[in-house]
Amino acid sequence: MLSTLKKRLGAAASAIAALAVAGLLSSCTSTKMPSDVNPGMTALPGLPPVEHITGEVPPPAPREFRAAWVSTVANIDWPSRSNLPVAKQQAEAIAILDRAKSLNLNAIVLQVRPSADAIYPSQLEPWSEYLTGKQGQPPLPMYDPLAFWVTQAHARGLELHAWFNPYRARHATAKSPLARDSFAVTNPASVKQYGRYLWMDPGDAAASKHTTDVVLDVVRRYDIDGVHIDDYFYPYPIDAPGAGSNAGAGAEAAALDAGSGGAKRELPFPDEPSWQQYLLGGGQLDRASWRRQNVNQLIESLYTGIHREKSWVRFGISPFGIGRPDRRPPGIVGFSQYDKLYADAELWLSRGWLDYLSPQLYWPVGQAPQAFGVLLDYWLAQNPYGRHIWPGLYTSRIDNTAKSYTPQEIIKQIELTRTRPGANGQVHFSMIPLMQNRKGISDQLKATVYQSPALIPATPWLGTEAPGTPTVIMRRDTTSVNLKFTAGAGKPVTQYAVWARYGADWRFTVVSGLQSELTLVDDSTGKVNAVVVSAVDRLGNESPRVTLRQPAQ
């Protein structure tokens, strides 16, 4: 993710739509004002009041992708340091998942391949040093961290998306020597040194095939819900010797700080051998177009390969958030990933080569040259196939620096996103500010925009068949109602969407499909007197509802 090392070290119709969506998403669990949900907190200015949801029939289930990136590179999020005891690694993972669940997030994007290495047992790449302290060394006692994360996430009703860095072969923070089975050791001609990093050459066929093989190996062997790749394609350009001090992370920070790139002499990426091979083979493209073609071929290969293996696994990309210069809205300036990273994200959307795009919109709403809302509108306009647009939010910018965000900035970005049809979610970079509750961000998210759970939006282009209608048995005792779920015939159930009416007010919750029972406890707002349940599959398709009512007493 963009400038991860720096982050670690720095530790009106639209208005009506905003009110409607925010009212639905925030009112499903409580009929109280936000200040009442978490004692001692004050409702944030500009947010709509919570509405009651009443009536004989509840509304459709709220839907919004709410995720956080969990970075393993440089031990940004997990594990907190390399070579932790296995029990401590697992305890930290569970703490992250429990926090995500408590905040009503519904997905985790876990970095499983930081630098041509693995946080899972692999025949293709060595164990990551960020896990065990030494590349190639397995955890002791032996366990499979990715399988552990998948199991624990699904038990909590959370999706687990596996995040791969497609080309980086060694990070600047790496300390241990390369393992014997590292791709940089076994295929040295396919790997180039660039500053303090090693980089797989995107123009090298062996490198691209290796990345594709690694991704598809995980898709086959693990019950993941998505594959995710980040903004690192060709590397962020670094200054040529004598031109400056950028050595990788500095270049990324300059790009994020709205640098246009190219103002100084840049160190060229050393891909001359693969470029010459392309020309000798009769290639006609100029070098920049050839580089973009190399990346495009990987994106298309991953999209088709993933769905050939498992049609329900979604493919997402989180590119740098500013589009190509010749298409930008008036007033938008900044780094060009199209010209510098050779990432043609507009093309990928136009061809439908992804299931969701999470452009890293890491600037404030009010920063005109990179205005969050203007950039979001830009990406929505590049989307002829109607793929999901779930912007990346720079939540880690809530820190103690002069550039720190307030929690209100993140909440404002979520509220703005909800006013845009087609932008039905967001991804926080990263989990650490939510774990640390920096400046109260976690408390404020829960008290305002994340009061209620939400289903992940459906992905109809990958399938529309709904699961069978579930069977639900409701039994009341003195102070609660117990529900027992049995899946209907047909497709497997991953979740149950449950509306419960307390007195006159409906509240929403989501139950993992692995859970067969749920107890709803009466409270001061009233007894549970009606329940509406539907079953949901991996693509968000929802079964017909089952309605159960308690007789009047």
Of the candidates 350, 356, 354, 358, the residue with the CA atom closest to the CA atom of residue 327: 350
Return the axis-axis angle of helices 272-280 and 287-309, rounded to nearest 10°: 90
Round to the nearest angstrom and report the end-to-end CA distance of the chain.
57
Cα(54)–Cα(27) distance, integer angstroms: 11
Polymer length of the chain: 553
3-class DSSP state of 532: strand
Looking up tokens 């069978």, which residue turns up?
A: 468
Of the candidates 88, 61, 64, the residue with the CA atom closest to the CA atom of residue 75: 88
Return the axis-axis angle of helices 287-309 and 205-221, rounded to nearest 10°: 20
The per-type count for the chain, helices as H runs and strands as E runs, is 17, 19
Written as six digits, the tokens of 545 are 């509802």
Cα(85)–Cα(271) distance, integer angstroms: 41
Please name the residues in contact with 419: beta carbons below 8 A apart, sequence gap of 6 or more. Answer: 14, 15, 17, 18, 21
pLDDT at residue 263 in the model: 56
Cα(494)–Cα(16) distance, integer angstroms: 33
Task: Kindly report the backbone phi and psi dihedral angles of residue 40, in degrees, each rounded to the nearest multiple of 5, phi listed first.
Answer: 90, -10
Written as six digits, the tokens of 160 are 């687990």
**Half-sphere exposure (CA, 13 Å, Cβ side) for 212?**
23
**Half-sphere exposure (CA, 13 Å, Cβ side) for 250?**
10
Q: Omega before 141 cis (within 30°)? A: yes
pLDDT at residue 43 in the model: 34
Of the candidates 449, 383, 407, the residue with the CA atom closest to the CA atom of residue 66: 449
Cα(442)–Cα(447) distance, integer angstroms: 9
Of the candidates 307, 361, 371, 301, the residue with the CA atom closest to the CA atom of residue 333: 371
Region of 234 on the Ramachandran plot (φ > 0 left; ψ -120 to 50 alpha; else beta)? beta
What secondary structure letter does DSSP report for 225? S
Task: Kindly report the backbone phi and psi dihedral angles of residue 400, in degrees, each rounded to the nearest multiple of 5, phi listed first.
Answer: -110, 20
**Grouped pLDDT means (10 residues each) for the chain, 553 residues:** 46 34 37 29 36 89 98 98 97 98 98 98 98 97 98 98 98 96 98 97 98 98 98 94 60 74 78 98 98 98 98 98 97 97 98 98 97 98 98 98 97 98 96 98 98 97 97 96 95 97 96 96 93 98 95 56
Going from the C-alpha of 174 to that of each of 7, 26, 80, 115, 320, the distances in angstroms are 17, 43, 15, 9, 24
Q: Considering Cα of 149, then 152, then 154, then 156, what sign does the dihedral take?
A: negative
Of the candidates 501, 498, 507, the residue with the CA atom closest to the CA atom of residue 542: 498
What secondary structure letter does DSSP report for 438? G
Written as six digits, the tokens of 56 are 């004989």
Using one digit for the tens of pLDDT, what is the confidence trace for 158-168?
999 999 999 99
Q: Considering Cα of 538, then 433, then 340, then 198, what sign does the dihedral take?
A: negative
pLDDT at residue 243 in the model: 58
Of the candidates 448, 470, 452, the residue with the CA atom closest to the CA atom of residue 508: 452
Cα(234)–Cα(287) distance, integer angstroms: 13
